[in-house]
Structure 1
Amino acid sequence: MHPLALTSILALGSTVFAAQLTQVSNYGGTAQAKPGMWVYVPNQVKSDALVVAIHSCQSSAQKYFQNSLIPWKKGADGKGYVTVWPSSTTECWDVSSKSSLTHNGGGDSNAIANMIMYAIAKYKINPKKVFVTGGSSGAMMSNVLAATYPELITAVSLYSGVPAGCFFSASGASAAWNNTCSGGQSISTAQHWGDVVQGMDPGYNGTRPRMQFWHGSVDATLSPKNYDETLKQWTNVFGVSTTPTSSKKDTPEKNYRTDDFGPDVEGIWAVGVGHSVPSHLMVSEAWFGL
């Protein structure tokens, strides 16, 4: 066979068998909500970890995966871990209804938990290496998942979100927008926000996921005040002070500040940055221990 012909065949083979985002048609579970589940398994699986990447409003698993600013495909290819990409059936994730704000309540959070359990079994994931990340509405859902399914998640890194339960709708509306919360007017005590988390999975007293949250100081979509409320929430849950145990200026880049509140809570404040805080793959992977 001519060498050029062999080269062409090998190139074709690598294209045909290249890893790609693939839909899972039936991931099981009893949740009434049925968002789509998409999975990316890299060509070389070198890790038994799972990263769940949750998209923002007006997006989808496919769009989020293809977004060059979202680094988790690159991370999966580099470190060899499996990623799951949930895809909402509504404009934004449901972080407002009782069903989604309750453990095994049947809402979107329940469905994503089912995806995690499916992935653990299917891809031989270490249950102690399940990580969740997302931006905007996906960040809100990341917070909700940390509250409703703490037993399934090891650590969270979320960008531009609000405290878990902040979007709660007394009317029971699913995926309802909450102007009071988004506008930074849902101000409460650390104890209140901690109680909100405890109430989503009453009786749970096991290990909780380590929480890392990012927010821009000039966010015009979700008020920067939500950073402070999220900080109150998770420091209360972990029983630590809102005073940092350590603080680093210009980290991970200029005009950012990274504050640690013990080993389990970390806040990253981005001065002059708006709603779309740039993702930092290495920082989030380090938080996850990847």
Structure 2
Amino acid sequence: MKTNLHQNILEATRLTRAGRINEATSMLQGLLGGQTSSASSPGHAPEADTVRLPPRTERAKKSGGGSDQSDPLHAASLGSMKDTLGRWMKQMKSGQGMPDLGGLSSLDGLTGRSPASPSDIAPDKGQYLSKSFSNQAGTRGFKLYVPSGYQGQALPLVVMLHGCTQSPDDFAAGTRMNMLAEEQDCFVIYPEQATSANHSKCWNWFNAADQNRDQGEPSLIAGITRQVMGEYSIDPQRVYVAGLSAGGAAAAIMGATYPDLYAAIGVHSGLACGAARDLPSALTAMRQGGSAVAPMCQFSHGQGKTVIPTIVFHGDSDKTVHPRNGDQVLAASVDAFDKDLLIMTEQGSAPGGHAYSRTTHADSNGTIIFEQWAVHGAGHAWSGGSPSGSYTDPRGPDATREMLRFFLATRKT
């Protein structure tokens, strides 16, 4: 078995050096996840040149103070990937176990819990519905929360994009967004990534094919948003999108590609649009920050740049997605604003929890356009979330309440 593994790694290296990255990635998925890429399911359009993150694998056991975070993912280019594969092989031979190559599927947080109860997911007062949407890019299911206060009046809408390995129910329970939406009279959508598109249910933020308007996953998420806007009375000036990790990166893409649809974006522990264009650059971005923002990610629609109000949350002890990525998300948004901004930073702490630094960027009228929360000592988990859901840090501050506050103060002009 070791011989076959060694031969397969050498073959993956050869394919990588030859520039055949899709084939190499498919082979690595088989090696590291015990399976190969699955074919598209019936009714799901195949995606050309799609690179998918391998499925989540068992974390390496800690030994002598070491851990699986010792950097098996530092592939800065195709040329350096051979050395990375060599390190993976040495790690496996040394008995440390398989390296954690799930990328954004390896979120820090609580796992192994029982599924959340219905009362953890949504209030009994409102409706929590299962729906689906299809277009040329495929089909995605989604959950929709309709607040009890809805009587046909135009209400705000928040689209929530889950992280890897999560489900809409899990994400709803962890963020408690439905509970706050009931208080504030908001609709909430939870699109669900399909395992046929990514084995770990990650949104494919690192695929060039899934970073463009009216193509791939952005077209599906936008289509879901528009479908709900057509079925219910939604205020078109108050439609927002937020997400965690891979979902946060997808939210950044949605803001860049559909600034005419979304009034603001929220990115928690995610990456900027264009931070990566394939698997090697994705792994690099996660470890040290992304590359320069790609031209199609300049928040443009029609003529000129469009300003997308943005709120960012990121733990400064995040070992899965480097905190520098949060800075880059904000920088990409601020870059589109060509007027002077008043920047202020305040220090605080959640009751009995994490300290934080909150930086606001306000225009000449005092309106906050951009906001960034650095949560000190926090890892890769939803800040202030409920332990009923996975990958949450209940020690706060409350990212859900702060994002919703930021969103509801923002209207699309």
Q: Tell me the TM-score normalised to structure 1 length.
A: 0.80
Query: Relative to structure 1, is the Cα distance of residues 224 and 124 closer, same or farther in structure 2, using a 3 angstrom cutoff?
Result: same
Change in CA separation of 1:42 and 1:120 when aligned onto 2, cut-off 3 Å: same
State the SS of the aligned residue for 2:266: strand
SS of the residue 1:96 aligns to: coil
Change (3 A) 1:40 1:277: closer
Cα deviations by residue, 1:100-138 (Å, 9 ceiling, x for unpaired): 211112x11110100111111111101101011111111
SS in 1 for 2:381: coil
- 1:19-52 CA deviation, whole Å, 9 max, x = no partner? 3432213x35x34132212211122227611011
C-alpha separation in 1, matches of 2:361 and 2:339: 7
Question: Given the alignment of the two structures, is residue 135 of structure 1 paired with residue 244 of structure 2, yes or no?
Answer: yes
The answer to whether 1:150 aligns with 2:259 is yes
Structure-1 residue corresponding to 2:402: 283
Q: Is the 8 A contact 1:51 1:81 kept in 2?
A: yes
Q: Deviations over 1:194-213 (max 9, x none)?
A: 74512x75645364431000
> Which residue among 61, 83, 86 is the counterpart of 2:191?
86
Please list the CA deviations of residues 232-273 of structure 1 after superposition, one character each: whole Å capped at 9, or x if unmatched.
2121122367x8611111166752111112332111111111
Corresponding position of 1:247: 345
Over aligned residue pairs, what C-alpha RMSD do you find? Answer: 2.6
> Once structures 1 and 2 are overlaid, which stretch shifts more, 33-42 or 132-141?
33-42
**Structure 2 residue aligned with 1:4:** none
Contact 1:146–1:208 (8 Å) recurs in 2 = no
- Classify 1:114/1:42 alpha carbon distance in 2 versus 1 (closer, same or farther; 3 Å): same
> Given that residues 135 and 161 in structure 1 are in contact (C-alpha distance below 8 angstroms), is that contact kept between their aligned partners in structure 2?
yes
SS of residue matched to 2:155: coil
Whether contact under 8 Å (1:23, 1:39) holds in the other structure is: yes
> What's the counterpart of residue 145 of structure 2?
40
Q: Which runs of 5+ in 2 are unaligned?
A: 1-123, 363-367, 385-397
Structure 1 unpaired stretches of 5+: 1-16
2:282 maps to 178
Check whether the contact 1:155–1:209 (CA below 8 A) recurs between aligned residues: yes
SS of 1:178 mapped into structure 2: helix
> 1:102 aligns to what?
212
C-alpha contact (below 8 Å) 1:216/1:272 kept by paired residues: yes
Tell me if structure 1 keeps the 8 A contact 2:275–2:294: no
Measure, in 1, the Cα distance between the counterparts of 2:331 and 2:175.
Answer: 27
Corresponding position: 1:197 with 2:297: yes
Identity of aligned residues (%): 21
CA distance in 2, matches of 1:286, 1:258: 14
Maintained 8 Å contact 2:161/2:247: yes
Q: Is the 8 A contact 2:175 2:382 kept in 1?
A: no
C-alpha contact 1:247 1:259 (8 A) present in aligned 2:
yes
**Is the Cα–Cα contact under 8 Å of residues 355 and 375 in structure 2 kept in the other structure?**
yes
CA distance in 2, matches of 1:185, 1:132: 22
Matched, 1:237 2:336: yes
Q: Per the alignment, do residues 153 and 185 of structure 1 end up closer, same or farther by CA in structure 2, a change over 3 Å counting?
A: closer
Cα 1:164–1:82 change in 2 (3 A) is same
User: C-alpha distance in 1, partners of 2:295/2:281?
Assistant: 22
Q: Give yes or no for contact 2:310–2:330 (8 Å, CA) kept in 1.
A: no
TM-score in terms of structure 2 length = 0.57
Deviation at 1:283, TM superposition (A): 1.4
| Greater gyration radius | 2
